[in-house]
Amino acid sequence: MIISFETYSQTFYNENNIQDIRIVFSQSNWDALLDTAEQTDSYISAQSVTINGVMYNNVGVKYKGNSSYNPSQVKNPFHIELDTYVVDQNYQGYTDIKLSNVIFDPTFVRETVSYSVLRKYMHAPLSNYANVYVNGALIGLYSNIESISKKFVSNHFGSNDNAFFDCSPPAGAGPQTTNLPNLSYLGALSTSYESAYGMKSLTGWDDLINLTNTLSNNIANIETILDVDRALWMLVYDNLFVNLDSYIGKFKQNYYLYKDNNGRFNPIVWDLNMSFGTFGDPGTGSQLTTATKKTFSHTYHSADTAWPLVQKLLAVPRYKKMYLAHYATMLSENITTPSYLTTAQTYQSLIGTAVAADTNKFYTTAQFTSNLGTTDVNLGMNIASGLTGLMSSRNTYLLAQSDFTNTKPVITNITPSSTSPSVGTTISITANVTNTNSGAVFLGYRSSTFLPFTKVLMYDDGAHNDGASGNNVYGITLPIETVSTQYYIYAENNNIGAFSPVRAEHEFYTINGTYPTIAPGTLVINELMAQNTNTITDPNGDYSDWIELYNNSLNTISLDNLYATDTTSNLLKWAFPSGVTMAPNSYLIVWADQDLTQTGIHADFKFSAGGESCVLSYPNGIIVDSINFGIQTSDMGFARNPNGTGSFVIQLPTFNANNENLSTITFEALKNSITLYPNPASNQINVVITDLIPNENIKIYNQLGQLVLEKIPANENAINVSSLTSGTYILSYNQLSKKIIILTK
């Protein structure tokens, strides 16, 4: 059994090295130019930017930040955009570089430690440090934080063109700001939201409005539009580490929302330079002192309508128990066992010399050391509480709360009935669960990292491979649909929940399935056409090369993990789409035309009419079937005869049909012998055949080449197609096929 989770690592964000970034401006007044450009959030052109010795010319640079920027400072935060003026210019795939000036952090580690913690539980940016020089002069040591960009969401969510929001007021948050990104429903007009959220996608206001409306008015359906688990992890982090310059603070900001291909918004935490209690305004009164930060309630805002993400989620008993389970995990792993401090000390050892050399830093080198301990640093409006003083006391306070002293469910002995099941089969999973309620043990599972987990009940009833009823062993059957099935177990009692693995859903267990291989002779290349100029069109109306496969067996077979190619030098040239199956003694058409975006099954290769190969194989080298063919004749089939087993011969094509059913009537003679009307059709299509062929039926195939309807013809037939879903189909009669479109009413 394997615990799996995603990791992303690049040299540029290696936590063991300080990066070297050197900016060169041709203008001597570069600082004044950046100050002017900052007012309109514009870039100015740097002559060059050199990153760890790699030089890039003509690069966009600007100052960034709200409270961290000040024109009177030497050390301002930078945003470097490598491809502003030079298309595709990047460093290790990164185009945007975000450099924070550590203005509110005497320790220099608040931000990097926070991201290090968060990455254990949810998708969060990579982070480390960089020495930044301008025109040869050291400006100082910066924290280097991965940008929340299209690259980021592509890596973590599998897409980048959906609704995407920076949940911070575009004009910056301050005492004068009245509209904040707290996810309150403000009505159906996008103008009500534009001053609180920055849209990073081309469209998306309707999606955001739907999210706020669902959160406020339809919480029962919130999981269809929000990744609730990630939202809970975010709220846990912000509360535990007293990160109040966030959703749970006065300005309810500093997070992103990206809508994945499953229709769910995913929160991404951002801007953690004031974590560990530096920003002290929770939004419901005066600034918190260090003493009140230590006893900051773990359910703060749970009754405050101005923070609906907290108030609405924690009002759902199951979500609150999940929240408490996550809270207990993060508290135990980072504070009770003070791994945060170990990480902070490691970072300070790495950067100590660079901090001492930073003459533009905002605090003394002595405060760099002391603020990591129990010494507070007064920042004027805020107090940078000593990290260990704050977190040690916070640990003592939280562990004394009844929510964390209550008995928790215990999940042990998780056992799948098979560790390498065949794809397409089912297995059982059992677990020993104590201190839980009946009907409160769930298994979450999915077949792909980018899919949401499906939650199903586990049972202790003696009927789910769980042994005797009532023995605290819970079981469930689980379909194995792909080679990788990911799962976790959740249980709860009246007070709190528990996950296994404890960092679920970000971490999970994995069952590695195996594909049953198709024995040679079962699936065969039955016919192909390497020069289709006027025979039959694909569903898009093109005359394309094609391959006809035939299932010789009496069993349905899966083509998962199977590859096809036109060359023996690259057997893994094209993979069949996942989920394609063939019924017993059935045919399947693959269009060999490299048109992968078209309807139907299209391979990423074309045949040469001068002769080539066609091979079906698995990644382990097993060849299912292969042929070599010589020069082909235009519009003639290269087919096995007898069908499915014989040697290959050049003959009239028998597209999607038995190769032995050749008629004495030529293809040319049949070309105009069928008339279809209406086309598109809804409930009925009329087929007029002028030349009937004995023992030949009308057949209709779907876009995967699978037979969906068959009828004995008369000269004119009214075929009922109301059972078919809307789409494109192929109607075939003898050697002739025509495209039909079904528009079901």
Confidence (pLDDT) at 598: 86
pLDDT in tens, 305-333: 999 999 999 999 999 999 999 999 999 99
Phi, psi of 41 (to 5 degrees): 55, 45
Indicate whether 125 pLDDT > 90: yes
Q: What pLDDT does 176 receive?
A: 85
pLDDT at 349: 98
Predicted local confidence at residue 161, as pLDDT: 95
The per-residue pLDDT for 729 is: 78
For residue 654, pLDDT over 50 is answered with yes
What is the rounded radius of gyration, in angstroms, for the C-alpha atoms of the chain? Answer: 32
What pLDDT was estimated at residue 470?
Answer: 95
Residue 515 has pLDDT above 60, yes or no: yes
Predicted confidence (pLDDT) per residue in 600-623, tens digit:
899 999 999 889 999 999 988 899
Least confident range from 91-105, 392-406, 639-653: namely 639-653
Joined together, the tokens standing for residue 540 give 């898009």
Residue with tokens 């249980």: 491
C-alpha 322, offset from chain centre = 22
pLDDT at position 715: 66
> Using one digit for the tens of pLDDT, what is the confidence trace for 351-382?
999 999 999 999 999 999 999 999 999 998 89
Inter-CA distances, 380 with 102, 242, 384, Å:
16, 18, 10
Per the model's pLDDT, the better-predicted residue between 664 and 76 turns out to be 76
> Out of 96-100, 266-270, 503-507, 528-532, which region has the weakest mean confidence (pLDDT)?
528-532
Q: Read off the tokens for 157.
A: 């969510």
What average pLDDT does range 18-34 have in this prediction? 97
* Chain segment 711-731, per-residue pLDDT in tens: 887 766 788 888 888 877 777
- Residue 227 half-sphere exposure, CB side, CA atoms within 13 Å? 28
Q: Are strands 587-592 and 602-603 parallel, antiparallel or unpaired?
A: parallel
pLDDT digits (tens, 9 = 90+) for 665-709: 333 333 446 777 888 888 888 888 766 777 778 888 776 667 788
Q: Which residue has the higher pLDDT, 630 or 342?
A: 342
Q: Which two tokens stand for residue 539?
A: 């569903």
* Type and span of the H or E element at 214: helix 205-217
3-state secondary structure (DSSP) of residue 132: strand
Centroid of chain to Cα 415: 28
Contacts 24+ apart (CB under 8 A), 656-659: 656/548, 656/587, 656/589, 656/699, 656/701, 656/705, 656/707, 656/730, 656/732, 656/737, 657/587, 657/699, 657/732, 657/734, 659/526, 659/527
- The predicted pLDDT at position 701 comes to 77
Cβ atoms of 196 and 181 closer than 8 Å: yes
Q: Mean pLDDT score of the chain, rounded to an integer? A: 92
Q: Which of 164, 122, 135 is nearest to 6 (CA)?
A: 122
505: preceding bond cis by omega (within 30 degrees)? yes
Report pLDDT for 5.
Answer: 40
Identity of the amino acid at 198: G
Checking if the pLDDT of 6 tops 70, the result is no
What number is the average pLDDT over the span 390-401?
98
pLDDT for residue 445 is more than 90: yes
pTM of the model: 0.78
In which residue are the tokens 């879903």 written? Answer: 725
What pLDDT is attached to residue 662? 64
pLDDT of residue 704: 61
